[in-house]
Copies of this chain bind each other. A is one copy, B any other.
Amino acid sequence: MNIEHILKQVEAGRLSAKQAAKAIGKPHVDLGFAKVDTARLHRRGFPEVIFCPGKTTEHIIEIMRALRKAGQNVFATRASAEQWAGIRKAIPKAVYHKAAGAIVVDVVKPSKPVGMVAVVSAGTSDIPVAEEAALTAERMGAKVERVYDVGVAGLHRLMSHVELLRTARAVVVVAGMEGALPSVVGGLIDKPIIAVPTSIGYGTSMRGVAALLAMLNTCVPGISVVNIDNGFGAGVAAAMINRVGEKQEE
């Protein structure tokens, strides 16, 4: 998409117009059913991630192979047991992270983790979403600290971890039901918080809408929110902030 740079190459005669148009127009692998965005690594800082629900196992495997062929690490989220069974057979190097429901295949060795992202969860049932966030942030190069089951019904459980949270560059707070934990954490620290509502609850929880609304209406500024159960998105956001803390030159 860096059009100006490519245009300069054309002007300098280093690229033909056709090559330039191709460079701008098709930095992806076309599999027919999918156009794998191999340029994403350079544009966004991490490879395209495969969201498994609604895809056939065969399609997931083909996309994984296309990414590997492009020399990019594979990360697939929310894989079902059946999908995993098919993938492990086809790609023996694939590794399953059960708590997070995610699959990874490493082509390039991950770099040493830097900085620190804290992932906090309100209840035991919120752990799968929290693990998705934690694993994602780790895949993107962050050191991660987990603080689980510290909901507001017993505030003292949270209080004993406040010092740890203060040393993080970004904090992911995962909660279902009334979604009050991000506000309480936010009142105690001075770091960016990514709040993740979960679908844990019943009745008027409306599969996470109650928690989402609470988080959007927090009286504590500096908290931003992702979709219900979107541990992956929160992990990416926190890891991006963590990188901001790393790159001084920009």
Contact = CB atoms under 8 A, between A and B. Distances in A.
A67 interface: no
A125 B197 CA distance: 24
A216 B226 contact: yes
A190 B33 contact: no
B123 A219 contact: yes
A210 B245 CA distance: 33
Contact of A212 (B32, B154, B186, B204): B204
A54 interface: yes
Nearest to A37: B154
A78 B78 CA distance: 27
Contacts of A159: 1, 3, 24-25
Interface stretch (A13-21, A87-95, A101-109): A13-21
A8 B3 contact: no
A217 B28 contact: no
Contacts of A190: 43-45, 240
B154 A49 contact: no
Nearest to A207: B203
Contacts of A81: none
Contacts of A245: 244-245, 247-248, 250
A152 interface: yes
A135 interface: no
26 contacts: A1-B155, A3-B3, A3-B21, A8-B17, A26-B160, A28-B156, A32-B148, A34-B149, A40-B153, A44-B189, A49-B221, A53-B125, A54-B125, A154-B187, A178-B219, A180-B184, A191-B240, A192-B241, A194-B224, A199-B203, A202-B228, A202-B229, A203-B207, A203-B212, A203-B230, A205-B213
